[in-house]
Chain A
Amino acid sequence: MRTHSAALTGVAVASILALTACSGGGESVDLDGTTDSSSESSSEGASGATVIAAIAGEPDQLDPNNTSAYFSFQVLENVFDNLVEPDENLEMQPALAESWELSDDQLTWTFHLREGVTWHDGTDFTAGDVAYTYNRIMDEELANAWRFSAVESVEAPDDSTVVITVTQPSPNLLSSIGGFKGLGIVQEANVTSGEIQTAPIGTGPFSVTEYVSGDHISLAANEDYWGGEPEVAGVEFRFISEPSTALAALQNGEIDWTDNIPPQQVADLEGDDALVLGVEPSNDYWYFALNQDVEPFDDVRVRQAIAYAVDREAIVQAVSYGTAKENQLAIPQTSAWYTAYDEYNYDLERAQELLDEAGVSDLEIDFMATSDYPESSTAAQVLASSLEDLGITVTIRTPDFATWLDEQGSGNWDALMLGWLGNIDPDDFYYAQHHSEGGSNFQGYSNPDVDALLDSGRVETDEAARAEIYAEAATMIADDASYIYLYNPAIIQAWSPDLEGYVARSDAAIRFHDVSLAD
């Protein structure tokens, strides 16, 4: 009779397996019909091995102009090119544009394109593609349209020339179009067919060959790449959201690279010969802001008092186990645009004095962190405990990020915390966040002097003068405690010692063009 019960189980299981078989396991999108099964991808390719890289999440889509997801850009960094691109010091270098010149009135940028560049499908890349891409972003009001706010027109007078006309001198144009893959050059046919979202065609060092929803994306080396054929046969990006699993997979040799490392393990990993650890200070920053449309945070003394009560060292230890770098302004020390500032060192006495001056006591703060960025809830707890020493009661809310964004927009908060990612030009660090008309000025900051400085910084073409403008603006913003800056997080990546030539970059761009993989 035991067989009877086994048979019943068998029926149930068989019907489920039949269901599996019906749906055919047809999850792979075989884009060119030449790719082998993904299980083979760790073996030798045509010209070397395939790098297996684990990223912490799945791209939402692969149209660079349309996505805002970091996981998309991690992959697309290797697939698309921009006109210009940042080097490791974040200086703009030629990419699809070989050279460029600026007219005397600073209003016309002429880019000369590299000859002989082809798309992954073999067709020729031309200036028309560049004009198409930029006009698409502006005409369709895509998320990155704000980067072209000063652009009047983009034209392609011939196949190898692109002319961008701006309404005012725009010294940050190069970093606007080159600093971010969201401005990557796309192919019109690929866009109009709609295939770009899952099967993008770029001009970059690798082409997308297979996308298995929820599991991985495979890239193959582009042998016609203008920058030279990559040494590895391809890259497979696997989506592993749990950091300890990603680390186990790296230690186990299943993957060659990951940026999904549990921060509390970084200290232990430093002595681990089985992997290479890259800890690089980043251009990202985390800030804390008080809602200036709400009393008493409209009083600068109250904001300053709170700024003095921030124990940055404790926060950095708690959120990053010491890997992040404390900072009192947005731009990190490693940048050419860095400004020294250390006014708000932890000083509870000064904080209390300021609160007394403002006549504020028994303050209650509704602090909005978000559960999707756990460091914000951790930092919020550290902040709350410092503020309690001043008799301030802090209530921490941690909605998910979608709700958080809604609440931020509706002004329903006293304090919040978040980070900004991937900025290069100082205009990116300050204008949207602190100009009275800035699109991301949710804290309601308004200072006419800062507005004037930020407006002039946008059009100042002399670099030294521009640096002075931003140093002044940044200092005023910090003095007014529009944002209370906390730290610049570190980029933490780890890879196998067999992966040679990989460089961890401060802009978190993951590039596999120059790597090789020893057997």
Chain B
Amino acid sequence: MSRILGHPVVAFLARRIVYSAIVLLGVMVVTFALVQLVPGDPVRIALGTRYTPEAYDALRAASGLDRPLPQQFLSYLGGVLTGDLGVSFRDGQAVAVTLMDRLPATVSLAAVGLLIAMLISVPLGIWAALHEGRISDAAIRIGSQFGVSIPDFWLGMLLITLFSVTLGWFPSSGYIPISQSVGGWAHQVALPGLTVGLVAGAIMTRYIRAAVLEVVDMSYVRTARSKGLPRHTVTFRHIVRNALVPVLTIAGIQLATILGGVIVVEVVFAWPGLGRLVYDAVLMRDYSLIQGAVLLIAALFLLVNLIVDVLYAIIDPRIRLS
């Protein structure tokens, strides 16, 4: 038993879980405080522009907003510890249920977006670095600069105009769960996934090019070359492998960014993800939903970081899980 607990991976995971719990508690405190500081009254929003003062008091009391703040926070904290994220002000539904409804759409869009981004950026970034200063490098750099500068809103509309309206190949909006129909899901996710992927891919191409360039100048690469190793062996065994760690870091950050909500892309393609949910929740001052969504996104962020850290150790055994 002590052997299992003493195993570096288990110890690492245990430490990370404790660390994550502390981070999440901090997230909860900060989110709760920020939500209170934002002007705008959820009761007024829910009632619309016309109501009686009695209706205002009745709804405020019914939703617990008339209680003192410390009491509200403690009851929120107690709820979270028992897995209850509270009830949405907007529709009276359990926040946890709403978030789980929206999570698959966000996760699948993020996965497809990241996959497309990797397919674009890994070959282009490596190629550009290995051909530094040549025309192909310049072309890739200009292309990625272009991709970074394009507003995702505009790119999305462009793809809709081309692939939906003109060619009629893909739908412009909507979502079908992967559990319901893989083909239908793929058809729906194509355009929003491409939008996310092109933008993220352009950013990642630049980072990967820089990461590979750094490795190219390392002494061990020169040594390998001077030993007379074949060109592709040097490229893949020495350069690319060592450049993977920074690549993984940037991929992790990109993935976390996408998970945190590509609000604009979700709005353009009417994609029922977390980004739009959070956006609507903020407009409605739906306190429980905002707090729950931020907590979930923070947890996903920590999870992605954890996966990235474990992958580091797999790529490069010199990196210890510590």
A215 is an interface residue with CB less than 8 A from chain B: yes
Q: How far is the CA of A409 from the CA of B122 in the complex (A)?
A: 55
Q: How far is the CA of A295 from the CA of B91 in the complex (A)?
A: 42
Assuming the A-B contacts A26-B101, A27-B177, A239-B270, are A401 and B283 also in contact, with contact meaning beta carbons closer than 8 angstroms in the complex? yes
Q: How far is the CA of A399 from the CA of B114 in the complex (A)?
A: 35
- Contact B270 A21, beta carbon cutoff 8 Å: no
A23 is an interface residue with CB less than 8 A from chain B: yes
Could you tell me the distance in whole angstroms from the C-beta of B253 to the nearest C-beta in chain A? Answer: 13
Q: How many A-B residue pairs have CB under 8 A?
A: 227
A interface, size bucket: 35 or more
Instruction: Give the dominant DSSP class at B's interface.
Output: helix
Q: Which of B161, B268, B273, B315 counts the most chain A CB atoms within 10 A?
A: B268
Assuming the A-B contacts A8-B311, A12-B114, A68-B48, are A248 and B164 also in contact, with contact meaning beta carbons closer than 8 angstroms in the complex? yes
Q: Which residues of B from 97 to 153 have beta carbons under 8 Å from A?
A: 98, 100-105, 107-108, 110-111, 114-115, 118, 122
- Contact B178 A25, beta carbon cutoff 8 Å: yes
- Contact B270 A242, beta carbon cutoff 8 Å: yes
Q: How far is the CA of A37 from the CA of B47 in the complex (A)?
A: 34
- Contact A141 B55, beta carbon cutoff 8 Å: yes
Q: Which residues of B from 275 to 298 have beta carbons under 8 Å from A?
A: 276-277, 280, 283-285
- Contact A215 B175, beta carbon cutoff 8 Å: yes
Chain B residues with CB under 8 A of A254:
164, 171-174
Chain A residues with CB under 8 A of B284:
60, 402
Assuming the A-B contacts A58-B280, A238-B174, A252-B168, are A146 and B50 also in contact, with contact meaning beta carbons closer than 8 angstroms in the complex? yes
B221 is an interface residue with CB less than 8 A from chain A: no
Complex partner residue of A198 from B93, B267, B307, CB under 8 angstroms: B93
Interface string of B160-182 (1 = CB under 8 A from A): 11001100100111111111110
Interface string of B32-45 (1 = CB under 8 A from A): 00000011111011
Q: Which residue of A lies closest to B112 (CB)?
A: A13
B224 is an interface residue with CB less than 8 A from chain A: no
Assuming the A-B contacts A23-B104, A25-B177, A39-B181, are A439 and B272 also in contact, with contact meaning beta carbons closer than 8 angstroms in the complex? no
How many B residues, CB 8 Å from partner?
82
B207 is an interface residue with CB less than 8 A from chain A: no
Could you tell me the distance in whole angstroms from the C-beta of B128 to the nearest C-beta in chain A? Answer: 16
Assuming the A-B contacts A8-B311, A402-B41, are A440 and B241 also in contact, with contact meaning beta carbons closer than 8 angstroms in the complex? no
- Contact B47 A23, beta carbon cutoff 8 Å: no
Chain A residues with CB under 8 A of B307:
12, 15
Chain A residues with CB under 8 A of B52:
141, 145-146, 439
A19 is an interface residue with CB less than 8 A from chain B: yes
- Contact B270 A241, beta carbon cutoff 8 Å: yes
- Contact B236 A214, beta carbon cutoff 8 Å: no
Complex partner residue of A402 from B45, B51, B122, B161, CB under 8 angstroms: B45
- Contact A406 B40, beta carbon cutoff 8 Å: yes
A194 is an interface residue with CB less than 8 A from chain B: yes
- Contact B92 A146, beta carbon cutoff 8 Å: no
Q: How far is the CA of A60 from the CA of B280 in the complex (A)?
A: 10
A462 is an interface residue with CB less than 8 A from chain B: no
Could you tell me the distance in whole angstroms from the C-beta of A107 to the nearest C-beta in chain B? Answer: 22
Q: How far is the CA of A214 from the CA of B177 in the complex (A)?
A: 13
- Contact A143 B115, beta carbon cutoff 8 Å: no
Assuming the A-B contacts A37-B180, A248-B161, are A214 and B101 also in contact, with contact meaning beta carbons closer than 8 angstroms in the complex? yes
A-B contact pairs, 10 of them (CB 8 A): A27-B102, A38-B180, A61-B92, A69-B48, A212-B101, A212-B272, A213-B101, A240-B270, A254-B171, A400-B283
Q: Which residues of A contact B (CB under 8 A)?
A: 1-2, 4-5, 8-9, 11-13, 15-17, 19-21, 23-28, 37-39, 54, 57-58, 60-61, 68-69, 140-143, 145-146, 194, 197-198, 212-216, 238-242, 244-246, 248-249, 251-252, 254, 372, 399-403, 405-407, 409, 418, 420, 432, 439-440
